[in-house]
Chain A
């Protein structure tokens, strides 16, 4: 059974820092990997989707990489802002359209 782990569970940084969020998964036979953002008590907003044949995707200040063979993905946030404060969830797409979520990284960016 696929297991997805996100490290760290929580992170607090000063505004302007570049930061990296980590996601690891146990079964490398994935279809894709998706990063989401969730604000407290709110829905999930899709940030980036990386298909299994891709190595990375970029959107603005966000860059996500995927290394299927080692079971890892990273989300890089450049020049962090207080508005980036949220929980970031990594989700792996498996066979049968199953989606397995990590526990999330709760990010706080201080002004």
Chain B
């Protein structure tokens, strides 16, 4: 089944403790992206990647890092999480050119 898999689904962590949210897709898509969703602010793009070793900032990249060492994986790294990064995070992928996006099931992160 074609899908985007995120892990973990839920995570509660403490301020400053580094964490990684994994994202993997099995559709051989070139393009992958991370979004966060917050009440009243909608979905905002954090980072995206057009292909292996090619990444760029989205609208809200502060406090996040990404890497794209393999085509299928696009982890989101929070080096020093803060409470304002409490959010629902989504990973998405698409082919190039864009024939529609597939989203993961989301990761609900709480930073205390």
Contacts and interface: CB of A to CB of B under 8 A. Distances in A.
Nearest to A44: B103
Interface of A: 31-32, 34, 36, 41-46, 49, 51, 89, 91, 93, 96-99, 101-104
Contacts of A49: 99-100
A36 B43 CA distance: 12
Contact of A31 (B90, B92, B97, B108): B97
Contacts of A104: 42
Interface of A is mostly: strand
Interface residues of B, number: 23
A46 B101 CA distance: 8
Interface in B27-66: 31, 33, 42-43, 45, 48, 50
Interface centre among A49, A99, A101 (most CB of B within 10 A): A99
B42 A101 contact: yes
Interface centre among A34, A36, A43, A104 (most CB of B within 10 A): A43
Contact of A41 (B31, B88, B104): B88
Interface centre among B33, B42, B92 (most CB of A within 10 A): B42
Contacts of B99: 32, 49, 51
Nearest to B106: A43
A97 B96 contact: yes
Given A42-B105, A42-B106, A97-B31, 8 more contacts: A32-B98, A34-B101, A43-B103, A46-B100, A49-B99, A97-B33, A97-B50, A99-B92
B74 to A, nearest CB: 13
Contacts of B100: 32, 34, 46, 49, 93
A70 B48 CA distance: 29
24 contacts: A32-B98, A34-B101, A36-B103, A41-B108, A43-B105, A43-B106, A44-B103, A46-B101, A46-B102, A46-B103, A49-B100, A89-B43, A93-B100, A96-B50, A97-B31, A97-B96, A97-B98, A98-B48, A99-B33, A99-B45, A99-B98, A99-B101, A101-B43, A104-B42
A102 B41 CA distance: 10
